[in-house]
Chain A
Amino acid sequence: MEWETVIGLEVHVQLATKSKIFSGSSTAFGAEPNTQANAVDLAMPGTLPVPNEQALRYAIMFGLAIDAEINQRSIFDRKNYFYPDSPKGYQTTQMDEPIVGPGIVEVQMPNGDSKSIRIHHAHLEEDAGKSLHEDFHGSTGIDLNRAGTPLIEIVSEPDMRTSEEAVEFAKKLHAIVTSLGISDGHMSQGSMRFDVNVSVRPKGQGEYGTRTETKNLNSFKFMEEAIALEVERQIDVLEDGGSIYQETRLYNGETKVARSMRSKEEANDYRYFPCPDLLPIIIDSPYIEAIRSSLPELPDTRRSRFVDKYRLSSYDASILSSDKSTAEYFETVFNVCKDAKLAANWVMGELTAKLNSESLSIHESPISADNLGKLIERIIDHTISGKIAKQVFESIWNGEGNADVVIEAKGLKQVSDSSELESMVEDVMSKNPDQVANYHNADDVKRKKMIGFFVGQIMKVSKGQANPGMVNKILMQKLKD
């Protein structure tokens, strides 16, 4: 039987506010445990929440970016459950009346197709603390620094049919929130986490199959793996005549294993009700319009600009426009070297590969955009060849200085001096008299192939530094003689 996968995402995005959503504690990452957890965050008796306006503005910015309805009245609810990282015994969240209503996210696929994913709503809520399961003599340690960090939870409709679509959608959300500057988007620090709802159904069937939810995936890669694994599991179960149970699952990205966390029968009854410590948030159209008019450039706008201005393909443009730092990096490279094609190839190729292999994000790149631009400039002005440029790139990456410094220090400058090249050509010809004779006896087709042999030899002698254009010209000249 042919199966169709149905995927919906719930995405938690930490907002880049200075202070927490309901208290004046810092949200900075990486502090000593519980040094950023104060009376309100610790749920000390009698303490009360006061909402952070910036968190609200950030949520509205997201809503505007996906063309969603912004609800002029929204309320906070309490979601009741006991867990040590949830100090109040409930999470303050939004249930029936969220700040952001339905919206749409356009996703570009690598094959050039685009796909619309509907957003059901997005709401504001507080993050939980962290449980540290390292051994404290059989105990778990609780750090509440993260408790109360503002989040938006973005809930999609089940509009994705493949893990690739889910990943592209997730990347698009990442692009939107980082472009807006409402989140730092640091996945490794948990700034963006995904819950994935997956079901399968026989192709052509109208109704959805039973879905499972795999929680708390914190990388695109893990998300892709978890979906693939879950789809495979569900199909196996169904093809063996079994049934899928609604359950919450956990995927371990290290061991590549998923397991059930709790089934529906044990599912919590969260007893949502409006938080009586908070009042309805009422905003008017001028408030929303003021935010709209100050929105920074969005990825989609930037993508069309990249296509128009730099003549990039739609997919290349979407990759380069995805997050603000990548886009800014690319544009800086272009401004230095003035060649969009080369700039795009270097950023998406060499740079991205190197960053990925060292798990760095672009703002952590050891090569500044300025330096990469200068390196490309040296290719354009024939100071070095593209091949040598890769070697120079490595050196710049390793901190040996900028392109000019490395080229100078290592003597990698392309040889364009005609007398020097002439002597190299003559040298190669005199060492290969048979090939020269063969050349003279060959027809045009064969001759073209044989030119390659001579160029290769010359490049070898020059350690790749000979100007290939000039070598060709001189070689043709000399062989004619």
Chain B
Amino acid sequence: MHNKTLAELSKGLASGDFSSSELTKHYIGRIKQLDPTFNSFISVTEEQALAQATAADSRIASGNTTPLTGIPIAHKDIFCTAGVKTSCGSKMLDNFIPPYDATVVEKFNQSGVVSLGKTNMDEFAMGSSNESSFYGIVKNPWSLNCVPGGSSGGSAAAVAAQLAPASTGTDTGGSIRQPAALCGITGLKPTYGRVSRYGMIAFASSLDQAGPMTRTAEDAAMMLNIMAGVDEKDSTSMDQPTPDYTEQLNNDLTGLRIGIPKEYFGEGLTPAIEQAVQSAIKEYQSLGAIVKEISLPNTALAVPCYYIIAPSEASANLSRFDGVRYGYRCEDPEDLLDLYTRTREEGFGDEVKRRILIGTYALSAGFYDAYYKKAQQIRRLIKNDFVAAFEDVDVIMGPTVPNTAFEIGEKSNDPVSMYLEDIYTIPTNLAGLPGMSIPAGIIEGKPAGLQLIGNYFDEGRLLNVAHKFQQATDWHLQTPASQIKRVER
């Protein structure tokens, strides 16, 4: 059962091949058996999952269903779930049980989707390796001594290891696409404002966006159908039409104009990944697409720009974790200042503290213009690059990440080299554009990702372009089966 896509599971449930309860039990069983090795879950909500599955089975029996009713998925532990611990990968929220659901979670619940639990992540989504989680590192199912990427590393690993057929993730600078690439799955970061951020614990509010992590583009379309849409509780969610994303999947690609940004193929890109991307582009040409070289001249400024904007926003977003109303509070505070400073020293991990300090510095008196304002201006230059490019092309393609999965510990003492992991994914967040990573090769046993970048609110086309590739190739069907077998034994 765990080898099936969402689309296949949906058919199986509809035709009565298996029930939601059977399916849910099957996945819970796999998590119990395998996840002690991968550590992709922070919480497994077996009881709640089985109750949801039973409810879903009655819905199916009464015919009151949506395409995903009865299918179990996993939520990144950044989405608030009523009555279920929501830690955001931090000691700060280790005891936090929100009395409310994130809008995304609420939408899945209303659709009758079953939640298996909450997946591991870099603390407060700050990281590209999942090594900053309070709940320990996550192992890449393709290579157990490698990282799964981050920050949605648990969500990616869970889907890759087939502990869940799909999961939710969030992407601030690449946190869906980079782990999707490193774990050989499909990940979509929608346009900023496409999916509600309400109840999704904020890292950098102007960059954060939730999206699906799945095995196929078709599955991502099914997930996005539930997730997308304006939310009156999120002022930054946009009132744009939400098409049925599964309807456009099979559109013909003849005449599709693909832009290849030369800046995405420079120094630092692993040659084998470049080859994988080039073969994918050839595949698209054979599907009728036209390939053009384009330039996004300000690409090199994206990482510097991001490492001012994201920490600045984060420094304010994380001020609410003060030990007063919820979450961690230090023992026996002497006075108010001690309560604040010790709670935050003890509750936050090193990377989070580092980013809060950078953001505080960038916003402080005398530095604002040189850092924050400058970064916002450069952000516009980066957006303008894309706007100009999309006048000539329909979709932009390149590598998702410069390398395949790196070894656990390899970059944890070198923040800057870790930050450069996101060099190809960050520009998309700064511009607010939708981006996707799909499997496009396997290099020395580790997956390589192809990144697709679309125009604003053009997720339908991105999914179509990804789906056609997946119809023509089988990279997305590759699984770390031999690794998983070894763990099973």
Interface hub of B98, B316, B318 (most chain A Cβ within 10 A): B316
- Tell whether B111 is near chain A: CB-to-CB under 8 Å: no
Q: Which residue of B lies closest to A86 (CB)?
A: B319
- Tell whether A121 is near chain B: CB-to-CB under 8 Å: no
Binds B, one of A76-84, A197-205, A396-404: A76-84
- Tell whether B18 is near chain A: CB-to-CB under 8 Å: no
Q: Which of A306-322 contact B (CB under 8 A)?
A: none
Interface hub of A80, A271, A272 (most chain B Cβ within 10 A): A271
A278 with B235: in contact, given A269-B364, A271-B364 (CB under 8 Å)?
A: yes
Tell me, in angstroms, the Cα distance from A50 to B364 when the chains sit together.
27
- Tell whether B204 is near chain A: CB-to-CB under 8 Å: yes
Interface hub of A49, A50, A279 (most chain B Cβ within 10 A): A50
- Tell whether B233 is near chain A: CB-to-CB under 8 Å: yes
Size bin of chain B's contact surface: 35 or more
- Tell whether B93 is near chain A: CB-to-CB under 8 Å: yes
- Closest CB of chain A to B110's CB: distance in Å? 18
Report chain A residues within 8 Å CB of B206: 276
Binds A, one of B27-35, B59-67, B193-201: B193-201
- Closest CB of chain A to B334's CB: distance in Å? 11
Q: Which residue of B lies closest to A78 (CB)?
A: B316
Q: Are B364 and A46 in contact (CB under 8 A)?
A: no
- Tell whether A3 is near chain B: CB-to-CB under 8 Å: no
Report chain B residues within 8 Å CB of A279: 235-236
Report chain A residues within 8 Å CB of B202: 45-46, 277
Q: Are A89 and B316 in contact (CB under 8 A)?
A: yes
**5 residue pairs bridging A and B, Cβ less than 8 Å apart:** A42-B325, A46-B197, A49-B235, A80-B316, A82-B322
Report chain B residues within 8 Å CB of A276: 204-206, 236, 313
- Tell whether B320 is near chain A: CB-to-CB under 8 Å: yes
A residues sitting closer than 8 Å to B (CB atoms) are: 39, 42-51, 78, 80, 82, 84, 87-90, 140, 142, 269, 271-273, 276-279
Q: Are A89 and B102 in contact (CB under 8 A)?
A: no
Report chain A residues within 8 Å CB of B363: 80, 271-273
Q: What 0/1 readout, one digit per residue, does chain B (234-277) give for beta carbons within 8 Å of chain A?
A: 11100000000000000000000000000000000000000000
Contact partner of A277 (CB less than 8 A), chosen from B88, B102, B235, B324, is B235
Tell me, in angstroms, the Cα distance from A308 to B433 when the chains sit together.
64
A89 with B320: in contact, given A45-B98, A269-B364 (CB under 8 Å)?
A: yes
A46 with B235: in contact, given A89-B319, A89-B320, A273-B316 (CB under 8 Å)?
A: no
Tell me, in angstroms, the Cα distance from A273 to B311 when the chains sit together.
13
Report chain A residues within 8 Å CB of B102: 46
Q: Are B205 and A277 in contact (CB under 8 A)?
A: yes
Q: Are A277 and B360 in contact (CB under 8 A)?
A: no
Tell me, in angstroms, the Cα distance from A45 to B198 when the chains sit together.
9
Nearest 7 CB-CB pairings of A with B: A89-B319, A271-B363, A276-B205, A276-B206, A43-B320, A46-B199, A45-B201
Q: Which residue of B lies closest to A144 (CB)?
A: B325
- Closest CB of chain A to B337's CB: distance in Å? 9
- Tell whether B419 is near chain A: CB-to-CB under 8 Å: no
- Tell whether B456 is near chain A: CB-to-CB under 8 Å: no
- Tell whether B340 is near chain A: CB-to-CB under 8 Å: yes
Q: Are A48 and B320 in contact (CB under 8 A)?
A: no
- Tell whether B336 is near chain A: CB-to-CB under 8 Å: yes
A48 with B235: in contact, given A82-B319, A88-B319, A276-B206 (CB under 8 Å)?
A: yes
Contact partner of B80 (CB less than 8 A), chosen from A46, A271, A277, is A46
Report chain B residues within 8 Å CB of A50: 232-235
Q: Which residue of B lies closest to A277 (CB)?
A: B205
A82 with B197: in contact, given A45-B96, A46-B102 (CB under 8 Å)?
A: no
Q: Are B324 and A87 in contact (CB under 8 A)?
A: yes
Interface hub of A47, A84, A142 (most chain B Cβ within 10 A): A47
A51 with B235: in contact, given A46-B102, A87-B324 (CB under 8 Å)?
A: yes
Q: Are B199 and A142 in contact (CB under 8 A)?
A: no
Report chain B residues within 8 Å CB of A48: 197-198, 233-236
- Closest CB of chain B to A284's CB: distance in Å? 19
Report chain A residues within 8 Å CB of B204: 276
A45 with B322: in contact, given A39-B100, A80-B316 (CB under 8 Å)?
A: no
Q: Are B368 and A44 in contact (CB under 8 A)?
A: no
Q: Which residue of B lies closest to A138 (CB)?
A: B335
How many A-B contacts at CB < 8 Å in the complex? 101
Report chain B residues within 8 Å CB of A44: 80, 98, 100, 325-326
Report chain A residues within 8 Å CB of B322: 82, 84, 89
Tell me, in angstroms, the Cα distance from A44 to B321 when the chains sit together.
9
B residues sitting closer than 8 Å to A (CB atoms) are: 79-80, 86, 88, 93, 96, 98-100, 102, 197-202, 204-206, 232-236, 312-313, 315-316, 318-322, 324-326, 336, 340, 360, 363-365, 368, 372
- Closest CB of chain B to A244's CB: distance in Å? 22
A269 with B235: in contact, given A46-B198, A80-B319, A87-B320 (CB under 8 Å)?
A: no
- Closest CB of chain B to A401's CB: distance in Å? 53
Q: Are A277 and B319 in contact (CB under 8 A)?
A: no
Q: Which residue of A lies closest to B326 (CB)?
A: A44
Interface hub of A45, A142, A273 (most chain B Cβ within 10 A): A45
Q: Which residue of A lies closest to B206 (CB)?
A: A276
Report chain B residues within 8 Å CB of A42: 325-326
Report chain A residues within 8 Å CB of B99: 39
Q: Are B236 and A277 in contact (CB under 8 A)?
A: yes
- Closest CB of chain A to B307's CB: distance in Å? 16
Tell me, in angstroms, the Cα distance from A142 to B336 when the chains sit together.
13
A46 with B316: in contact, given A269-B364, A271-B360, A273-B363 (CB under 8 Å)?
A: no
Q: Are B205 and A84 in contact (CB under 8 A)?
A: no
A82 with B340: in contact, given A46-B199, A46-B200, A277-B235 (CB under 8 Å)?
A: yes
Q: Are A84 and B372 in contact (CB under 8 A)?
A: no
- Closest CB of chain A to B106's CB: distance in Å? 12
Tell me, in angstroms, the Cα distance from A316 to B229 when the chains sit together.
59
Q: A39-B99, A84-B336 are known; give 5 further A-B pairs, CB within 8 A.
A: A45-B321, A46-B197, A50-B232, A84-B324, A273-B363
Q: Which residue of A lies closest to B318 (CB)?
A: A89
Q: Are B198 and A88 in contact (CB under 8 A)?
A: no
Report chain A residues within 8 Å CB of B100: 39, 44
- Closest CB of chain A to B93's CB: distance in Å? 7
Tell me, in angstroms, the Cα distance from A122 to B443 when the chains sit together.
61
Contact partner of B368 (CB less than 8 A), chosen from A39, A90, A273, is A273
Tell me, in angstroms, the Cα distance from A192 to B198 when the chains sit together.
33
Tell me, in angstroms, the Cα distance from A43 to B324 when the chains sit together.
11
Q: Which residue of B lies closest to A43 (CB)?
A: B320
Report chain B residues within 8 Å CB of A82: 319, 322, 340
Tell me, in angstroms, the Cα distance from A471 to B336 when the chains sit together.
77
Q: Are B236 and A47 in contact (CB under 8 A)?
A: no
Q: Are A45 and B312 in contact (CB under 8 A)?
A: no
Tell me, in angstroms, the Cα distance from A471 to B299 when the chains sit together.
102
Contact partner of A46 (CB less than 8 A), chosen from B201, B232, B336, B365, is B201
Interface hub of A82, A88, A273 (most chain B Cβ within 10 A): A273
Report chain B residues within 8 Å CB of A45: 80, 86, 88, 93, 96, 98, 201-202, 320-321, 326
Tell me, in angstroms, the Cα distance from A268 to B363 when the chains sit together.
13
- Closest CB of chain B to A355's CB: distance in Å? 41
A90 with B199: in contact, given A45-B80, A48-B234 (CB under 8 Å)?
A: no
Q: Which residue of B lies closest to A88 (CB)?
A: B320
A87 with B325: in contact, given A45-B98, A82-B319, A276-B204 (CB under 8 Å)?
A: yes
Tell me, in angstroms, the Cα distance from A248 to B80 when the chains sit together.
40
Tell me, in angstroms, the Cα distance from A44 to B80 when the chains sit together.
10
Tell me, in angstroms, the Cα distance from A224 to B313 when the chains sit together.
42
Tell me, in angstroms, the Cα distance from A286 to B67 when the chains sit together.
46
- Closest CB of chain A to B254's CB: distance in Å? 39
Q: Are B93 and A43 in contact (CB under 8 A)?
A: no
- Closest CB of chain A to B168's CB: distance in Å? 13
Q: Which residue of A lies closest to B92 (CB)?
A: A45
Q: Are A47 and B198 in contact (CB under 8 A)?
A: yes
Report chain A residues within 8 Å CB of B360: 271
Interface hub of A39, A46, A89 (most chain B Cβ within 10 A): A46
Tell me, in angstroms, the Cα distance from A304 to B102 when the chains sit together.
56
